[in-house]
A and B are shown apart, each in its own frame.
Chain A
Amino acid sequence: AQTVTQSQPEMSVQEAETVTLSCTYDTSESDYYLFWYKQPPSRQMILVIRQEAYKQQNATENRFSVNFQKAAKSFSLKISDSQLGDAAMYFCAYRSAYRGGMRFGAGTRLTVKP
């Protein structure tokens, strides 16, 4: 079974600074997809960024980028120029290319200090 591990229960960053959230995963599959989701107090899960395992190039979405290390099974999220609205719970997620259902890590609560 695939597992997703987020080793940082809480992180804090100063507004306008950069922060990196870590995620590792364990799988024997060769084809899969990785995601970062954000869950603010409103409870809705919002997709931040996604990465296909077969792509070597790291995904980027505006201020959000990932460092995908397939051999190390690592998928970290970097948030640049942090904003107050970035404060939320961030979940790393794994989705197999072969079977349904997305699996989430335990989450990292990000606080942004003004």
Chain B
Amino acid sequence: DTEVTQTPKHLVMGMTNKKSLKCEQHMGHRAMYWYKQKAKKPPELMFVYSYEKLSINESVPSRFSPECPNSSLLNLHLHALQPEDSALYLCASSQDQGLTYGYTFGSGTRLTVV
């Protein structure tokens, strides 16, 4: 298995909803990442997990809450989002911090906040 699987592929949520994005990989990677990508923009780093511990938080608002329950799973919990949070959310994973082989990305979750 050489994939990063993200679910759901599309999500529409209201500003008062609570939802979660899920990311899974079975490549034995010990680093996982969340990126946010607005239309026609590059991906922006949100969180870095290394060995299931949060190592980087790029000053992301607290309405985004990451969770790494084990080395294969990475969740992003969403609560009280704003319309400007609508974007493509990409998950990625890597061996050895991504230095040798880069990151393997999922296909993303297209999030729309209404």
Contact yes or no, A47 B103, CB < 8 A:
yes
Measured between alpha carbons, how far is A99 from B43 in the docked complex, in Å? 18
Contact yes or no, B90 A45, CB < 8 A:
yes
Measured between alpha carbons, how far is A47 from B58 in the docked complex, in Å? 23
Task: Give residues 73-109 of B contacting A (CB, 8 Å).
Answer: 88, 90, 92, 97-99, 101-108
Beyond A99-B56, A100-B48, A101-B56, is A44–B108 a contact (Cβ under 8 Å)? yes
Which of the segments A14-22, A78-86, A102-110 contacts the partner chain?
Answer: A102-110
In the complex, B55 has a CB within 8 A of chain A: yes
B45 to A, closest residue via Cβ? A101
Measured between alpha carbons, how far is A35 from B101 in the docked complex, in Å? 10
B107 to A, closest residue via Cβ? A44
Interface centre among A91, A95, A102 (most CB of B within 10 A): A102
Interface residues on A, range: 20 to 34
By a CB distance below 8 angstroms, the chain A residues around B97 are: 95, 100
Q: How many residues of B contact A (CB 8 A)?
A: 28
B64 to chain A, nearest CB (A): 16
Of B50, B90, B102, the residue contacting A50 (CB under 8 A) is B102
Task: Give residues 57-110 of A contacting B (CB, 8 Å).
Answer: 91, 95, 97, 99-107
By a CB distance below 8 angstroms, the chain A residues around B106 are: 44
Beyond A45-B92, A91-B42, A106-B41, is A101–B58 a contact (Cβ under 8 Å)? yes
Contact yes or no, A44 B102, CB < 8 A:
no
In the complex, B21 has a CB within 8 A of chain A: no
Contact yes or no, A43 B42, CB < 8 A:
no
By a CB distance below 8 angstroms, the chain A residues around B98 are: 33, 95, 100, 102
What are 16 A-B residue pairs whose CB atoms fall within 8 Å in the complex?
A33-B102, A43-B90, A43-B107, A44-B107, A45-B43, A45-B103, A47-B102, A47-B103, A99-B56, A100-B31, A100-B98, A101-B58, A102-B98, A102-B102, A104-B42, A104-B44
Q: Which 6 A-B pairs have the closest CB atoms?
A: A104-B42, A45-B105, A100-B48, A101-B45, A47-B102, A44-B107
